């Protein structure tokens, strides 16, 4: 984030979908007021390409903290394929102890690095698809399309448990997040990638831009929901509920490239 702040001359920078330190690939980064739009972006599902190193053990479930390596006999290809296939669908599991999850206000990885016990609650993810790319013993290369918040390191640990061996991820690459792909820091208009519908406001722009009270009669769409509304100079995100209008975000400057 320091690199982005310096390059683009901005003080406020945020990112969506944390990438592990050893990982590469797509990361959505926003500056200034656009950091408020992450929750409204079309950024699911996510797809990853990963390599699982059979026989390697690491408390962080990745290549950064490998503490032992054992020789593992090669598996039949069908065994690897069946194990991966068994993960499709809804999966409930523990996130890695070395993760950004918070425990009593502190990041889990901070506690783990201090040698403290980390008790995390189970989470549920959806594995939409998972496929073997190549098995070149002791390395299993696979791709997985998953729901937001899925830990691929945990998938690697589950695969290892099913094979009854030690194993850890040695590489991880995020191919995409929803509509977003890695394209050499390509600048995008965030308002073209929102998952919420648009609505038309027929009243005075000034009422909307100044955050004044709004009335349902001045909107084209009157159904309950969250909408993007455009004025001459700004965008706003409003919510309609029981014919009452409330602001979610207001006076978002139009993207100028």
- Active-site amino acid positions: 20
CA diameter of the chain: 72
Q: How far is CA 159 from CA 46, 171, 197, in A?
A: 19, 15, 39
* Dist CA 118 CA 142 (whole Å): 29
* Dist CA 167 CA 139 (whole Å): 9
- CB crowding 70-82: b at 16 or more within 10 Å, else e: eebeebeeeebee
Q: Which two tokens stand for residue 48?
A: 């990853």
Contact yes or no for 16/43 (Cβ under 8 A): yes
């Amino acid at each position: 984030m320091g690199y982005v702040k310096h390059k683009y001359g901005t003080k406020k920078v945020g990112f969506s979908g944390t990438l592990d330190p050893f990982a590469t690939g797509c990361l959505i980064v926003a500056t200034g007021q656009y950091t408020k739009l992450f929750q409204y972006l079309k950024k699911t599902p996510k797809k990853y390409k990963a390599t699982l190193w059979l026989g390697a053990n690491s408390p962080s479930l990745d290549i950064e903290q490998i503490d032992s390596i054992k020789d593992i006999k090669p598996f039949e290809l069908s065994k690897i394929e069946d194990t991966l296939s068994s993960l499709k669908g809804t999966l409930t599991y523990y996130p890695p102890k070395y993760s950004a999850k918070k425990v009593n206000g502190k990041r889990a990885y901070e506690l783990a690095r201090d040698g403290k016990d980390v008790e995390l609650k189970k989470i549920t993810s959806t594995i939409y698809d998972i496929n073997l790319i190549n098995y070149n013993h002791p390395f299993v290369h696979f791709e997985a399309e998953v729901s937001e918040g899925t830990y691929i390191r945990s998938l690697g640990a589950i695969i290892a448990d099913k094979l009854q061996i030690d194993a850890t991820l040695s590489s991880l690459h995020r191919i995409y997040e929803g509509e977003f792909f890695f394209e050499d820091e390509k600048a995008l208009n965030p308002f073209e990638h929102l998952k919420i519908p648009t609505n038309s406001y027929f009243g005075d722009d000034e009422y909307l831009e100044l955050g004044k009270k709004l009335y349902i009669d001045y909107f084209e769409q009157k159904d309950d929901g969250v909408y993007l509304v455009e004025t001459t100079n700004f965008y706003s995100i409003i919510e309609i509920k029981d014919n009452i209008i409330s602001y979610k975000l207001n006076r978002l400057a139009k993207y100028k490239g």
